[in-house]
Amino acid sequence: METKILMSILFLKGKNGITKKEISKIMNVSLPNLKKIIKELETDLIKKDLPFILKDFDDYIWLSISSDISVEISKIMKKDVAIKLTTSLVETLTIIAYKQPITKSEIQAIRGSSADYALMKLLNHDLIQYQKETDSINSPKKFYTSHYFLKLFNLKSLLDLPQLEKDFQEKTEEIQLFDYDERK
């Protein structure tokens, strides 16, 4: 019964998942006991050949579709269930990941083009989120990566992002300086 309750909670929480601590509180079980229930559920999913797998990352746990069935679901639904990122989305996401928190105007200055579409798509995919500064009515939104971004890219924290190569950073700085000089 406990595995069914756990599976139901994970189903209801969706792709954002839930912390083990929260599940433990909801189910009124200790964390060591919860780990046993999680292991039982993983075994049941495999044994019963269900199309789900448990994902566990940074104390969050959630249900996901197994890779073998996701291909078939894509065909049936005529829609790819994977997130496909275009070059502009990757550029924008990279800028946000390395410069966060960052405003839309700062992103556009770095990219040299509008970021409206990219920001909308990244927000729709839950890869980024924003926070409006409370110090002023006219203060802009500041964008930063979401917890889902970390999970998707298997990062424990932003410190796990690959370091930018020095020459890339210097070229980026040169471009920014060059753009700035052109505006004078």
Quickly name the fold that domain 2-77 has. Answer: Arc Repressor Mutant, subunit A (1.10.10)
Judge whether residue 176 has pLDDT over 60: no
Q: What is the pLDDT of residues 116-162, one digit of tens each?
A: 899 998 988 888 988 866 666 677 889 999 888 887 777 778 888 88
**In which band, very low, low, confident or very high, does the pLDDT at 166 lie, cut at 50, 70 and 90?**
low
Alpha helices in the chain, H assignment, sequence order: 2-13, 20-27, 31-47, 67-77, 87-99, 104-111, 116-124, 147-152, 166-182
Let me know if the fold of 2-77 is the same as that of 87-182: yes
106 φ, ψ to 5°? -70, -40
Judge whether residue 79 has pLDDT over 60: no
Judge whether residue 62 has pLDDT over 80: yes
Quickly name the fold that domain 87-182 has. Answer: Arc Repressor Mutant, subunit A (1.10.10)
More confident residue, 64 or 82: 64
Task: Locate the domains of the chain by residue range.
Answer: 2-77, 87-182
Residue showing tokens 């924008």: 92
Judge whether residue 56 has pLDDT over 60: yes
Question: What pLDDT is recorded for position 61?
Answer: 85
Average pLDDT over residues 19-41: 92
pTM above 0.85, yes or no: no
Average pLDDT over residues 156-175: 65
Which class for 122: exposed (0-12), middle (13-18), buried (19 or more C-beta within 10 A)? buried
Contact in structure between 81 and 65 (CB atoms under 8 Å): yes
Contact in structure between 62 and 126 (CB atoms under 8 Å): no
Average pLDDT score over the chain:
80
Question: What pLDDT is recorded for position 178?
Answer: 45
Contact in structure between 69 and 51 (CB atoms under 8 Å): yes
